[in-house]
Amino acid sequence: MTDQTPSTGAPGPRRPRGSGGSHRETEVERLHRLEGASRVDQRRGDTRRHVDAATVAGLDIPTRPDPAAPPTSVAQSGPTGFPTPSGPARARRRSRRGGMTRFLGLLGLLGFLVTWQLLPLTGIVNPAYLPPASAAITDLFRNLGLAAFWEAVGDTMWQWLLGMVIAVTAAAVLGFVIGSSTVLRRFTNSTIEFLRPVPSVALIPLAVLLYGVDIESALLLIVYASFWQVLIQVLYGVADVDNVAMNTARSYGLGPFARLRYVIFPTTLPYLMTGIRLAAAVALILAITAQLIIGTPGLGAEIAKAQSGGSYVAMYGLVLATGLLGVLINLVMRIIERRVLSWHSSVRTEVVK
């Protein structure tokens, strides 16, 4: 065993692409790989024999050629002492483990809150700078009854939504147009690769000069940052279209629009959804950042006010609120993604497993 040994199991992105570390993405990747691998096997058939032995050793035969099959290890229980159960026993254990997981997760959250509560109370950290958890949470609940708080949340969400809609629409349209032609892709590649790593916050001074504390300041940053996330994913997706499917569509006489609708779009949709999910998180970060630094209305501006006014309890309460908002956005995006991609095999196999 050397580290040259490849592993089937690393369903790493074929090209480094942002995966928020979600299980779904790895599933998609694994599926692509498995489909790809099995396709290759059929197509290559006996050409494999011409490959030298070392390569064959390197070519791992997929352990799960059928993605819907339960993942059983070839090495059955016995030598390893790790049983690979299947059927009802496995389902029972799985459900029991689900309950256990939830319980442990709650325990972890509780442990975090208790630690936070005790740090200032025991005086390890100055309580003036870190109020106990109970104080911050009480303040958060007090906020929930205040109109000003909801107004700030509304402002934040409005900027987030508007920026997302603009960025996703522009990126999707451009992505489909550029991706569908090799010439255009090569023509724009250098510019895209150059503009993408430019940090969006570099534009903060420009936004301040152009728009001051108006909402457009935040929009400029949000749109710039989210746009690239979505565009890159759409380009990957369009490039991933299966040649055989494309040629089949052509020979069946499907026109360009029908091909876009029935071949390119379904292939690209999972990538597009990934891009949108990543952009959603980035857009929230930039909305709050713009409010914090520039002072556009919203939660970030409230935090800056609380900090400069020295009301630290309120500041921690607002930080908790932004965290909850982030969790909520992540959850909603996941749900939307599952709904939209319910036909996609990566989502379907999750139910089976």
Partner 1 sequence: MRMLKSVLYIVALPVLLLVIWYLATAFGEKNFFVPTPTLLAETFVDTWTWDRMTRDVFPSLTRLLFGIAGSILIGIVAGLLIGSIRWLRALLEPTLEFFRAIPPTVLIPVLMLLIGIGDDMKVAVIIFGAVWPILLNTIEGVRAMDEVLSDTTRTYGIGGVNRVRYLILPSAAPQIMAGIRQSLSIALILMVISEMFAASSGLGFTIVQFQRSFAIPEMWSGIVLLGIIGVVMSFIFQLVERLVLRWYHGLREIENAA
**Which tokens go with 114?**
């208790």
- We find the least distance from the C-beta atom of residue 336 to partner 1, in angstroms, to be 16
Give me the numbers of helices (H) and strands (E) for the chain, helices first please: 14, 0
Least distance to partner 1, CB of residue 62, Å? 10
Measure the CA–CA gap between 45 and 190, rounded to whole angstroms.
Answer: 38
The secondary element (H helix, E strand) that includes residue 148 is helix 147-179
How would DSSP label each residue in 103-127?
HHHHHHHHHHHHHHHHHHHTTSS-T
Closest separation in Å from C-beta 288 to partner 1: 4
CA atoms within 13 A on the CB side of 272: 21
For partner 1 (CB under 8 A), the number of binding residues is: 102
- Name which position in 204, 218, 235, 301 contacts partner 1 (CB under 8 A): 204
Looking from the CA of 26 toward its CB, the CA atoms found within 13 Å total 9
Binding track over 299-328 against partner 1, x by CB under 8 A: -x--xx--x----x--xx--x--xxxxxx-
Which of 88, 123, 129, 145 is the binder for partner 1 (CB under 8 A)? 129
Report whether 35 contacts 270 (CB < 8 A): no
Q: Does 122 bind partner 1 (CB under 8 A)?
A: no
- C-beta closer to partner 1: residue 204 or 347: 204
Buried b (16+ CB within 10 A) or exposed e, 109-140: eeeeeeebbebbeeeeeeeeebbbbebbbebb
Applying the rule CB under 8 A, the residues between 165 and 184 that interact with partner 1 are none
Residues between 12 and 31 with contacts to partner 1, criterion CB under 8 A: 12-14, 16-23, 26, 30
Q: Out of 68, 210, 258, 332, point to the residue binding partner 1 (CB under 8 A).
A: 210
Residues 55-114 contacting partner 1, CB under 8 A: 55, 58-60, 63, 71, 73-75, 79-80, 82, 84, 100-101, 104-109, 111-112
Nearer Cβ to partner 1, position 64 or 254?
Answer: 64
Binding mask 255-294 for partner 1 (x = CB under 8 A): --------------------------x--xx--xx--xx-
Per-residue binding letters, 222-261, with partner 1 (x by CB under 8 A): ----------------------------------------
Pair of tokens at residue 204: 């903060």
Tell me the two tokens of residue 102: 């939830």
Q: What is the spatial distance between Cα 42 and Cα 331, in angstroms, rounded to a whole number?
A: 40
Nearer to partner 1 by C-beta: 146 or 202?
A: 202
State in angstroms the smallest separation of the CB of 202 from partner 1: 4
Residue from the set 200, 233, 268, 274 that interacts with partner 1 by CB under 8 A? 200
Q: Considering the complex, state which of residue 22 and residue 345 has its C-beta at the smaller distance from partner 1.
A: 22
Among positions 147-166, residues that touch partner 1 (CB under 8 A) are none
CA distance 300 to 153: 10
Residue 261 Cβ, how far from partner 1 at the closest point, in Å? 27
Q: Which residue has the tokens 């970030």?
A: 300
State both tokens at 112: 């975090």
**Amino acid of residue 273:** M
Closest separation between CB of residue 259 and partner 1, Å? 23
Q: Specify the stretch interacting with partner 1 by CB under 8 A; choose among 163-171, 196-204, 253-261, 338-346.
A: 196-204
What angle do the packed helices 215-239 and 204-211 form, to 10 degrees? 130
Residues 6+ apart with CB under 8 A from 107: none
Nearer to partner 1, 254 or 336 (CB): 336
What whole-number distance in Å separates Cα of residue 245 and Cα of residue 264? 9
Question: What tokens does 195 get?
Answer: 């503009």
Give the amino acid at 281: A
Taking CB under 8 A as the binding criterion, the range among 171-179, 193-201, 332-340, 341-349 that sits at the site for partner 1 is: 193-201
